[in-house]
Chain A
Amino acid sequence: MTPQELQVQQKRELEQKQEGTVPARFFVPNADIYETDQALTVVLEMPGVDKSNIDVHVEEDVLNVEGRIDFSKYQGLTPIYTEYPVGHFRRGFSLSNRINQHKISAEMSDGVLTITLPKVEEVKPRRISIG
């Protein structure tokens, strides 16, 4: 059987509500969101972004993630053939009150940012033992 061909996803450019003051293009990083009993996990792909250039913050129930590319690496390189655009990444998620915002943690490795959003205690399923 033919293996499923991996399709390249074209990067989606972010439509910003406010204009920026410096010329920079922002793209929407691809995200996987999954939920377990304990927490909600958001995994974002931001290739080319170093851990020190990531900014994750929560403000007014919105989780904002921004990852910046270090363009100095491209100095002296002349593009000959390009298939993908390069730019910073930004994405925001609104959080429900089921998330314990004080316990949010994040890890970054190989261009993949994993954010764990633990659920508030009351929301976690409880097993009732039969007496």
Chain B
Amino acid sequence: MVANLDPLHALLTLQRALDRSFDSDWLRGSTAGIGTFPPINIFQQGEDFVALVELPGVSKDAVEIQAKDRSIRLSGRKTIAFQDTASVHRRERVSGVFDRTTTLPVQVDVDRLRAEYKDGVLALFIPRAESDKPRAIKIG
């Protein structure tokens, strides 16, 4: 019997194995971010940052915001309720669990982080940490 000595075969098998591990729960479970929902726009306002997240129709207790160093994590559940007797003609809205972590280019002042939810947009007011701001050094 001829053994398969094709070097490409070994490479392809390795890549397939790597792809499979990305699809498995194991790797996903350990990292905080899955997927790219909800969509986030990040703006700079002076020294601080504002992140606007489109999340229509969620209740405030269904969303959890966590912040540490440079990362902000948004997790929660978006639910859509239909009446039991309803017959659905069209479904375009998404619903389900989300868990997303974004990294900012600056250190966040976690204690002064503020969040507001209005009209389906979650606004995160992210002040830059004092320690992160550059200090002017006087020449003595």
Contact = CB atoms under 8 A, between A and B. Distances in A.
A48 to B, nearest CB: 5
B119 interface: yes
Interface in A46-104: 46-51, 74, 76-84, 86
A2 interface: yes
A34 B121 contact: no
A49 B24 CA distance: 39
Q: What band does the interface of chain A fall in when counting residues whose beta carbon is under 8 Å from B?
A: 35 or more
A131 B129 CA distance: 78
Contact of B87 (A34, A51, A74, A86): A34
Contacts, number: 133
Contacts of B88: 32-35
B6 interface: no
Nearest to B34: A5
A31 B93 CA distance: 6
Contacts of B50: 77
A122 interface: no
A7 B87 CA distance: 24
Contact of B120 (A81, A86, A110): A110
Given A2-B25, A110-B58, A8 B36 contact: yes
Interface stretch (B65-73, B76-84, B107-115, B130-138): B76-84
Contacts of B80: 32, 43
B58 A6 contact: no
Contacts of B140: none
Contacts of A45: 56-57, 93, 120
Contact of A31 (B24, B46, B92, B119): B92
A101 to B, nearest CB: 19
A79 B43 contact: yes
Contacts of B56: 45-47, 110-112
B97 interface: yes
Nearest to A111: B120
Given A51-B119, A111-B57, 7 more contacts: A3-B96, A9-B94, A31-B92, A45-B56, A50-B119, A81-B40, A112-B56
30 contacts: A2-B28, A3-B97, A5-B34, A5-B35, A6-B96, A6-B97, A7-B36, A8-B35, A8-B36, A8-B38, A9-B92, A30-B93, A30-B94, A31-B90, A34-B87, A34-B88, A36-B83, A36-B86, A36-B87, A48-B120, A49-B120, A50-B119, A74-B43, A76-B46, A81-B42, A84-B41, A110-B57, A110-B119, A111-B56, A111-B57
